[in-house]
Amino acid sequence: MRIAVVGATGMVGEVMLKVLAERNFPVTELIPVASERSVGKEIEYKGKKYTVVGLQTAVDMKADIALFSAGGETSLEWAPKFAAAGTTVIDNSSAWRMDPTKKLIVPEINASELTKEDKIIANPNCSTIQMVLVLAPLHKKYNIKRVIVSTYQSITGTGVKAVQQLENEYAGVQGEMAYKYPIHRNAIPQCDSFEDNGYTKEEMKLVRETKKILSDNTIAVTATAVRVPIVGGHSEAVNVEFSNDFEVAEIQNILHHTDGVVVQDNNDTFTYPMPMYAQGKDDVFVGRIRRDESQPNTLNMWIVADNLRKGAATNTIQIAEYLIAAKLV
Ligand SMILES: NC(=O)c1ccc[n+]([C@@H]2O[C@H](COP(=O)([O-])OP(=O)(O)OC[C@H]3O[C@@H](n4cnc5c(N)ncnc54)[C@H](OP(=O)(O)O)[C@@H]3O)[C@@H](O)[C@H]2O)c1
Q: Is the CB of 111 under 6 A from ligand 1?
A: no
Same domain, yes or no: 116 and 176: no
Same domain, yes or no: 156 and 299: yes
Q: What is the pLDDT of residues 186-207, one digit of tens each?
A: 999 999 999 999 999 999 999 9
Nearest by Cα to 108 from 17, 214, 217:
214
> Which of 60-77 are b and which e, b meaning 16 or more Cβ less than 10 Å from the residue's Cβ?
ebebbbbbbbbbeebbee
Same domain, yes or no: 56 and 183: no
Same domain, yes or no: 166 and 280: yes
Structural domains of the chain, count: 2
Range of the domain at 257: 127-307
Instruction: Determine the distance separating the centroid of ligand 1 and the alpha carbon of 12, expressed in angstroms.
Output: 7
| Annotation marks residue 191 as catalytic | no
Mean pLDDT, the chain, as a whole number? 98
Say what the pLDDT of residue 294 is.
98
Say what the pLDDT of residue 112 is.
97
Query: Which residues, at least 6 apart from 262, have a Cβ–Cβ distance to it below 8 Å?
Result: 283, 284, 285, 286
- 191 HSE (CA, 13 A, CB side): 27
Q: Is the CB of 70 under 6 A from ligand 1?
A: yes
Q: What is the pLDDT of residues 222-259, one digit of tens each?
A: 999 999 999 999 999 999 999 999 999 999 999 999 99
Nearest protein Cα to ligand 1, atom 39: 9
Say what the pLDDT of residue 319 is.
98
Query: Which residues, at least 6 apart from 19, have a Cβ–Cβ distance to it below 8 Å?
Result: 25, 282, 309, 313, 314, 317
Say what the pLDDT of residue 245 is.
97
β-sheet bridge partners, residue 239: 148, 300
Q: Is the CB of 127 under 6 A from ligand 1?
A: no
What CATH number did the domain enclosing 119 receive?
A: 3.40.50.720
Say what the pLDDT of residue 214 is.
98
Question: Are the beta carbons of 127 and 234 closer than 8 angstroms?
Answer: yes
Say what the pLDDT of residue 197 is.
98
Same domain, yes or no: 191 and 52: no
- DSSP annotation string for 123-159: PPPHHHHHHHHHHHHHHHHH-EEEEEEEEEE-GGGG-
Same domain, yes or no: 110 and 141: no
Say what the pLDDT of residue 128 is.
98
Same domain, yes or no: 217 and 140: yes
Q: Could you state, in chain order, the average pLDDT of each consecutive group of 10 residues for the chain (329 residues)? A: 97 97 97 98 96 98 98 98 98 98 98 98 98 98 98 97 97 97 98 98 98 98 98 98 98 98 98 98 98 98 98 98 98
Same domain, yes or no: 42 and 114: yes
What CATH number did the domain enclosing 245 receive?
A: 3.30.360.10
- 216 HSE (CA, 13 A, CB side): 17
The reported pTM is: 0.97
Same domain, yes or no: 97 and 141: no
Same domain, yes or no: 295 and 198: yes
Nearest protein Cα to ligand 1, atom 3: 157
